Amino acid sequence: MGDPQPSPAAAGPPVFEERLTGLFAPDVFTTAFPLVLGGGFLIGVGWWIAGALAMALGLFCVAFFRNPPREIPGDAHTVVSPADGKVILAEEVELADGQKAQRIGIFLSVFNVHVNRAPVAGRIVSVDRSGDKYLAAFNPEAQTRNVQLAMELETAGGARVGVVQITGLIARRIVWQPDVGEWLTRGVRYGLIRFGSRTDVILPPATELSVAVGDRVAGGSSILARLPEGMA
C-alpha cells in the first residue's frame, strides 16, 4: 500500500515540489567548481603545492555535495532516515512541554551525504529556528544549544513528527526549501546542512524503533521506525 496523498480538493495542502533533484546539490557550483578551476590555474602557472591543495579541497566539496537517488522502502507507516550518518541517540525522551516522545539522533560526518529527506509523509505545521552555538554535532549539548531548524509534520492520520536540522562545529548554514502548509511526500529531499552536522527525528511515544545507537543509516533508504497503526 502506497503513502497517502493530500486530497486534490481545493482545501488540500499544496504538495512541495522537490528541487534537489540533480546528482549534486547546487552548492557544488559555488564552492567546489571555483576551487577546482582555481587549482588548475595555479598548477598551470607553476604554483604546484597551492594548486594541488585547492584542487583537493575542490574535489572534497564535490563529494560532499553529492546527491544520490534513493529507493524509498516500506509503506506509509515506515519512518525512513532523514539523513546519512551514525545513530547517536535512540530512546524515549521528555520534551520541553513535558510530553514523552521517541527521539533518534543521527550524526553526519563531513564524509556523509548531507541532503535531508522527509522521514514520513505529512503537512508542515510549524518551523522553529533556535540556538546560537556551533558545538561539535556529537556533543549532547548541541541538541539544545546549537543553531538549528525544527520542522513539525502532521501525517494524514494526525501523528506529529518532528525533524530537526542541527548545525555542527564546521556547519554554518542550514538550507530549508519548503513553506509552512506544504505537504512533503515520504523520502522527498527538502534541504541540507553544509558540512558536519546532526539531524534528529522526534516521533510519537508508541512508535516502534528499528535502530539502535551505533547503527549506520542512509537517508531515504534506511528504516528507522514504524508508526503505530492508524497514525500514518
So which residues are the catalytic ones? 197
* Secondary structure (DSSP) of 162-179: EEEEE--SS---EEE---
State the cell numbers at 82.
532523514
**Quick check: 181 and 124 in contact, CB under 8 A?**
yes
State the CB neighbour count (10 A cutoff) for residue 100. Answer: 11
